[in-house]
A = this chain, B = another copy of it.
Amino acid sequence: MTQIGSKLSGLWKVYTPRLRDSDFSSLPQIVAWEEPSFQGRKHEFTSECYDLGSSCAFANVGSARVESGTWVGFEHPGFQGQQFVLEQGDYPCWEAWSGSNAYHAWRMSSFRPIACANRRESKVTLYEQENFLGRKGELTEDCPSLQAMGWNSSAVGSLYVHSGAWVGYQYPGYRGYQYLFEPGDFGHWNEWSAFRPEVQSVRRVRDMRWGHGVRFTPPEIPSN
């Protein structure tokens, strides 16, 4: 018969997460493997990698695991080409970090941690046209569809990040090309390396290593 009192129990409860700088006590860390499914040679990084080929024994990432922090990967060396925002977790193949778009980027050749991912508040102002012109909108929350909020267009031509780091996506629901927006102004969509002024969903980049409001639940142990 099961005795409730003898069980280990608990609850991993997520209160509205409010991040604080002190949550970032540990180093950002990413491990890259040469082959998919975490096979072959591997290399561990705790700071930016400008060019994978000159940093370790292999030139392309087959799979990766983000152990801590939030990172941004790039298709080419020198932080060039398609961008991939990498939160903590397992990326067993290139499809796991690449967006769902017509041009498939199977390479990831440079990456760096995102420094401002621990901001407590995030705010971005979007403009429909280049040079901060046209309709504008201010966001402080994740938005899987700008059009659902009345943006009435798939176009974002320029933007200004007041605080936090954000990631914009070509298509609704966080799909397609990914663009990292860090604090500062982007007067033209080509400044975020887009091929066209198309952004349909936007979310905050959050490093969620907080210690408060989280309790683990070990599995329940049946009594004999």
Is the C-beta of A114 less than 8 angstroms from some C-beta in chain B?
no
* A5 at the binding interface (Cβ < 8 Å): no
* Nearest CB of chain B from residue A101's CB, rounded to whole Å: 5
If the complex has contacts A140-B14, A142-B142, A173-B174, are A148 and B208 also in contact, measured as CB distance less than 8 A? yes
Q: Give the nearest-CB partner of A140 in chain B.
A: B14
Q: State whether B11 touches A138 (Cβ < 8 A).
A: yes
The size of the chain A interface, using a CB distance under 8 A, is 67
CB-CB under 8 A from A89, the residues of chain B are 145-148, 154, 171-173, 200-201
- A139 x B14 contact (CB < 8 A): yes
Residues in B neighbouring A220, C-beta threshold 8 A = 133
Shortest CB-to-CB span from A121 to chain B, Å, is 12
A148: min CB distance to chain B, Å: 4
Closest chain B residue to A204 by CB distance?
A: B144
Residue interface bits A203-224, CB-to-B below 8 A is 1, else 0: 1001111000010111110000
Q: Does A12 contact B (CB under 8 A)?
A: yes
- 21 A-B residue pairings within 8 Å (CB atoms): A11-B136, A11-B137, A14-B139, A14-B141, A14-B143, A15-B140, A66-B145, A66-B172, A70-B148, A86-B173, A87-B172, A89-B172, A93-B102, A95-B176, A96-B171, A100-B175, A133-B219, A143-B208, A148-B208, A150-B214, A174-B174
Q: A89-B154, A96-B170, A129-B219 provided; 8 other pairs, C-beta below 8 A?
A: A12-B135, A89-B201, A90-B171, A95-B101, A135-B217, A137-B217, A144-B206, A148-B208
